Amino acid sequence: MFSNTDKFLKDFQTIVNIDSSSDHLPGIEQVALFFQKRFSDIGFTAEILFQGDAKVPCLQAIFGPGNSPGGGHGPVYDLMFLGHMDTVFPFGEVEKRRFSIQGDKALGPGVCDMKGGLLVVLHVLETLKKEGVLDKMSVCVAFNGDEETGSKASKGWIQSIAGKSRRVFVFEPCRPGYKMVSQRKGGGWFHVSVTGKEAHAGADPDKGINAVVELANQIIAIDRLNDPDTGTSAQVTVVAGGDKVNIIPNKAVASVDVRIERLEEKQRVETFFNTLCERTVLPGSKILVEGKIDRPPMEITPESQALLDVIFLEGKKMGIDVSSIATGGCSDGNFTSALGTPTIDGMGLVGANSHRQDEYVELASIPIMVNLISNVCKALI
Ligand SMILES: [Zn+2]
C-alpha cells in the first residue's frame, strides 16, 4: 500500500516547477528525464523518443517481457499508461506561480492537467514493484509532449502502443467527487468559403452575387446538423464577409466547430460538408469547404464498461464512491479508444480548472488515487 504522500509532494514540486509549455521542448525533455530515471530505477526500459519533424520529446518506459497469447499475435502489454508532459502555460509561468500548497489543495502550472496524473502513474508502479506485483505484469508507459497542441507528432506512436495493449488508462484529471471519464466527444473543424460577384449595391444590384447572403443560407443549413439525440453539435463560431457598405460582397467565410459522440456521425457530417458545393442557393455562387473530423469519439463499449465495473468495485472496497462521466473535450484517449482498445480516462488526481490560473488538485486524492489504481491493477492481473 502507498502511504508516502510526502515523497509524492516532493516529486510534485520538482516537476511542476519545470516550465513545459508545448512549445518549450527543453522543459518537456527535462520532465521526461526525471521520469526516465525513476522508471529505470524500478527495472523499466525507459527511453526518450523524439517524435516527428519537430522532435517532440516523448517518454516510453516498458516493463515485462510481454505475453502475447497465440505466439506473437494479439496484445503485448496488459496495460498502457498514457499521459502528457506538456502544459498550456507559456515559458516563464513557473516563475510567476511556483508549486504551492494552500489548505487542502496543491497549486501551480499543470498541477491538475496533468503533472499530478503522471506522478500517479509513477507511484502506482513503484508501489506495485515494491509489493512484487509488477513482476507479474507487462506494462508500457507513454508520456507525450504535444497533447495540448493536438498530438500531431506523437499520435502514430501512441496508436502503435495502444494497438499492442489490452487496455489503456489515461491520467488526465479525475473530476471532483471521484468521477472518471468513460466517454469523450470527437470532432473537427470546417471552414466554408463562398465566392460571389462584386457589384455596386445601389446602381447594379442585379449584376452582383451576394456571398454573404449565400453564406447566411448555408449557415442555417449547417445549424440543422445539431442533433441532441445523437450528441452531435455543429456550431458556426466565426463569420466574415463584406468590405464596404455600398458594395455587394464577393467573399464570405465561416468556421464551424463540430463535435460527435458516435463514430457513425462522422460520415453524416463529412458528407454534408463535402456536398455543400452542390447545394448553393444563389445562382452563380461557389462554395469551397476545407476540414474534416480528425478526432474520433471515445465511446463506451462493453469492454470499457467491464473495466469501469472493476474500478468501481475496487473504489467501493476502499469506501470511495467512484463513478464516470461523459465530456465534450478530447484527449489522447480518443485515439486509443478508436482502435478498439478499452480506454478509461480521468485516472489522475482529483482536480479542476484546467488551463486556468486557479487550477488545483485535492491533496486528499493523492493516496486514494495511487492506492485505487494499484488495487485495480492487482484485480486485473
Ligand atoms: Zn491534459
Select from 194, 42, 251 the least CA-distant residue to 126: 42
pLDDT value at 357 more than 50: yes
Q: Count how many Cα atoms sit within 13 Å of the Cα of residue 129 in the half-sphere of its side chain.
A: 16
Predicted confidence band at 69 (pLDDT cuts at 50, 70, 90)?
Answer: very low
**Beta-sheet pairing, 79-84 with 139-144:** parallel
Q: How does pLDDT run across 4-49, given as a tens digit for each residue?
A: 999 999 999 999 999 999 999 999 999 999 999 999 999 999 999 9
Cα-to-centroid distance, 246 and ligand 1 (Å) = 48
Count of CA atoms in the C-beta half-sphere (13 A) of 345: 29
Mean pLDDT for the chain overall: 95
Provide, rounded to the nearest whole percent, the portion of the chain with pLDDT above 70: 97
Query: Distance, CA 94 to ligand 1 centroid (Å)?
Result: 18
| 106 bridge partner residues | 101, 361
The alpha carbon of 84 and the centre of ligand 1 are apart by a number of angstroms equal to 7
- Ligand 1: distance of its center to the CA of 172 in Å? 5
Cα(52) to ligand 1 centroid in Å equals 20
| CA 326 – ligand 1 centroid, Å | 15
Calculate how far, in angstroms, residue 147's C-alpha sits from the geometric centre of ligand 1. Answer: 7
pLDDT tens profile 223-260: 999 999 999 999 999 999 999 999 999 999 999 999 99
Question: What's the 331 CA to ligand 1 centre distance in angstroms?
Answer: 7
For residue 327, the CA-to-ligand 1 centroid distance in Å is: 13
* Sign of the torsion angle spanned by Cα atoms 115, 186, 56, 81: positive
* 26-30, 264-268, 326-330, range with the lowest pLDDT: 326-330
Taking only the tens place, the pLDDT of each residue in 71-120 is 555 679 999 999 999 999 999 999 999 999 999 999 999 999 999 999 99
Mean pLDDT for 303-318 is 97
Ligand 1 center–CA 355 separation, angstroms: 9
How do 79-84 and 168-170 pair as beta strands? parallel
**Global pTM value:** 0.85
* Cα 224 to ligand 1 centre (Å): 31
| Contact indicator for 364, 105 with CB cutoff of 8 Å | no
Distance 73 CA to ligand 1 centre (A): 32
Distance from Cα 239 to the centre of ligand 1, integer Å: 29
Q: How far is the CA of 185 from the centre of ligand 1 (A)?
A: 15
* Ligand 1: centre distance to CA 114 (Å): 5
Report the pLDDT value the prediction gives residue 66, as an integer from 0 to 100: 59
Alpha carbon of 264 to ligand 1 centroid (Å): 26
Residue 373 has, within 13 A of its CA and on its CB side, a CA count of 35
Residue 187, phi-psi category: left (phi > 0), alpha (psi -120 to 50), beta (remainder): left
The answer to whether residues 75 and 160 touch, using CB atoms and an 8 Å cutoff, is no
Encode 161-173: b = buried (16+ Cβ within 10 Å), e = exposed: bbebbbbbbbbbb
**Could you tell me the distance, in angstroms and rounded to a whole number, from the CA of residue 12 to the centre of ligand 1?**
16
Residue 285: pLDDT band (50, 70, 90) is very high
- CA 173 to ligand 1 center in whole angstroms: 7
Termini Cα distance of the chain: 17
Ligand 1 centroid–CA 190 distance in Å is 24
Q: Please state the φ and ψ torsions of residue 186, each to the nearest 5 degrees.
A: -95, -175
